[in-house]
Structure 1
Amino acid sequence: MSFRARWRCTGSPRSRYHKDREMQRNQCKTNGVEISYLDSAPDDAARPAVLLLHGFPDSAEMWTAQIIALHAAGYRVLAPDARGYGQSQLTTRVEDSALEQIVADLCGLLDALDIESAHVAGHDWGAVFAWGMAAQQPKRVRRLVALSVGHPLAYTQAGIEQKLRAWYAVGFLVPGLAERLLPVGNWRLLRSGFTGHPTPDAVRDQMARPGRLTAALNVYRANAPLLMRHGLPSVQADTLGIYSTGDAFLTARQMRDSHRFVRGQWRYEQLPGGHWMPLSQPDRISELLLEHFSA
């Protein structure tokens, strides 16, 4: 059985209007999980598709500005909440959040909407999943944009500075530890750790929902150990890597060195500012996405 047939969504997507009328909030069951996603043009299948992938601890809502800009430029934009995040179905097992499962969800969503391939952009863990989709399902990815996080092999080979910046992830990997510590003092540790996030209260409210913190942390628990040991193959897609100089969690080296794992054309852009570029620099990120996808 082909991957495409195996992961085809069951049933018709269910939709309702989003607060921004440029998009709809839809639901689709794929790979056994209800995935919620934003769709800018559900009635216009002729538009070229763009898939936008969020990271920890965000949701599809982080891409609102880019969805509006890309839609205005003629694209159909899909931004799913990863399983366990946002309005997608809550999943609690660590293995539910494995990269292969996330890639299966993404391909299943495209299958359900009869989309053969899409431009793909991801931020943070969304970038990891974008790299994974491009490596494992190269025919589904037309052009790739990785924001903040470089190719997993470049990340693991980026030296001691990168390991020191990722110190917090050690606590995330221990089952139950972060769940006990992060909510203390009205989520003081979470809010202090994400001081550069433009909407820290929204992050706190999202993680405070029953089971959502564990589901979000399971992305680290399911993937970090395996990616550290095995990495991913190189990708064939033309790729844009975007890094911000004020990123407290990541080094420029892990993004710059990603060119070694890209067989297509490689472009590197460095911006000022912190980790959450789609939120803090929405216009510039939209410009870069449009430049890369239209090249």
Structure 2
Amino acid sequence: MDVVSQYVRVNGLNMHYVTAGEGPPVLLLHGFPDTHAVWRRQIPALAAAGFQVIAPDLRGYGKTDMPPDVGAYAIDFVADDVLQLMDALGIERATVVGHDWGAQVGWHLAMHAPQRVSRYAALSVGHPKALAKSGINQKLRFWYMAVFMTPVLAEALLRAGNWAALRAMNRSREQQQLWIDALAPQGRLTAALNYYRANLKASGGKRWKPVDVPVLGVWSEHDPALREQQMLDSREQCRAGFDYARIDGVGHWLQLSGADRLNTLLIDFARSPAAVTPA
């Protein structure tokens, strides 16, 4: 299965993406500190199952341009990049799959551009309202975000000891090296951290609303940052149906250590009935 690397102009930026397969479109949106490469075990599986798979490097990551201003990494802009990518490819509606910050982008699209989303698979991160209401135990797991929001300090800590903190996030040497190669070039690490700096201080609560597209929530047992309850509580925010799947024995990067189970879930979900197109 050929995976093709391409570029498109969106919002004044050169966006890099890879694509494979033919059929109904499936968009894969990565999070921190990843690039499209985190989907390397999903892309061939989905393409072989009869889907057109598109996996972009979100702004600031990989081979996509990185705006210099912190505010340029607000979710509104990142989501609009995805919509413009769809426009450029002639895609009216797609199945959207998001992980980590990519999941936040996916929820934003499901809330504010439901006419472009056939169905949405949220990996690890639940609906923003459910996450905000998830209680003190969840907030304690987000201790690292205070560090990530601190310029210079965060960059220094992550680079220290030959990227020791980054390496500690995943035991796969292949994945560790992919992260380091992507974040080592000048400005790339700061661009990735700007997702935290641009969005966590903003008050988005007034814009959070229920979604009217079918949702699949997937959570993994050993995720150190996100508790299961925030995903389960997302059901209350999903008016067109919410299916839940738990993948046991794997950590935050379920695309890698839980690939077989996740691929089956995503293929079955992408074949399920889509949302009714709004009038």
Letter of the structure 2 residue corresponding to residue 33 of structure 1: L
CA distances 1:153-210 after superposition (whole Å, capped 9, x unpaired) = 1111100111111100111112222012221221122222x13566122212222111
Residue of structure 2 equivalent to 1:35: 15
Q: Which residue pairs with 2:170 in the alignment?
A: 195
After TM superposition, give the deviation of residue 241 of structure 1 in Å. Answer: 0.2
Aligned residue in 1 for 2:214 = 238
* Matching residue within 12, 16, 25 for 2:5: 25
Q: Secondary structure at the match of 1:182?
A: helix
Check whether the contact 1:102–1:129 (CA below 8 A) recurs between aligned residues. Answer: yes
Structure 2 residue identity aligned to 1:36: H
In the alignment, is residue 55 of structure 1 matched against residue 17 of structure 2?
no
Match of 1:83 among 59, 63, 79: 59
| Alignment check: 8 A CA contact 1:196 1:275 kept | no
Shift of 1:243: 0.4
Corresponding residue SS for 1:226: coil
Secondary structure at the counterpart of residue 97 of structure 2: strand
Q: Following the alignment from structure 1 to structure 2, what is the Cα–Cα distance between the partners of residues 104 and 197?
A: 33
SS, match of residue 166 in structure 2? helix
The one-character-per-residue Cα deviations of 1:235-286 (angstroms, maximum 9, x if unpaired) are 1110000001100011001111001111111011111110000011111111
- Any unmatched runs of 5+ in structure 2? 273-279
Percentage of identical aligned residues: 43
Structure 2 CA distance for partners of 1:274 and 1:227, relative to 1, 3 Å: farther
Aligned residue identity for 1:76: Q
Matches within 5 A, 1:108-127: 108-127=84-103
Coordinate RMSD, CA, aligned: 1.4
Shift of 1:228: 6.3
User: SS in structure 2 opposite 1:225?
Assistant: coil
Q: 1:283 aligns with which of 248, 260, 274?
A: 260
On the 8 A contact 1:153/1:231 being kept in 2, the answer is no
Provide closer, same or farther for how the CA distance between residues 289 and 152 of structure 1 changes in structure 2, counting only shifts above 3 A.
same
Is the CA contact 1:152–1:231 (under 8 Å) kept in the aligned structure 2?
A: no
Q: State the distance in 2 between where 1:24 and 1:274 align.
A: 29
Equivalent residue for 1:167? Answer: 143
1:100 paired to 2:71? no
The 5 Å alignment of 1:132-281 reads 132-192=108-168, 194-196=169-171, 199-226=175-202, 229-230=205-206, 232-272=208-248, 273-281=250-258
How many residues end up aligned between the 2 structures? Answer: 270
Q: 1:257 to 1:140 in 2, by over 3 A?
A: same
Pairing 1:293–2:270 present: yes
Quote the residue 1:3 is aligned against: none
Which stretches in structure 1 are left out of the alignment for 5+ residues? Answer: 1-20
Q: TM-score, normalization: structure 2?
A: 0.93
Distance 1:68 1:163 in 2: 36
Alignment check: 8 A CA contact 1:99 1:223 kept: yes
| 8 Å contact kept, 1:30–1:108 | yes
**Residue equivalent to 2:105:** 129
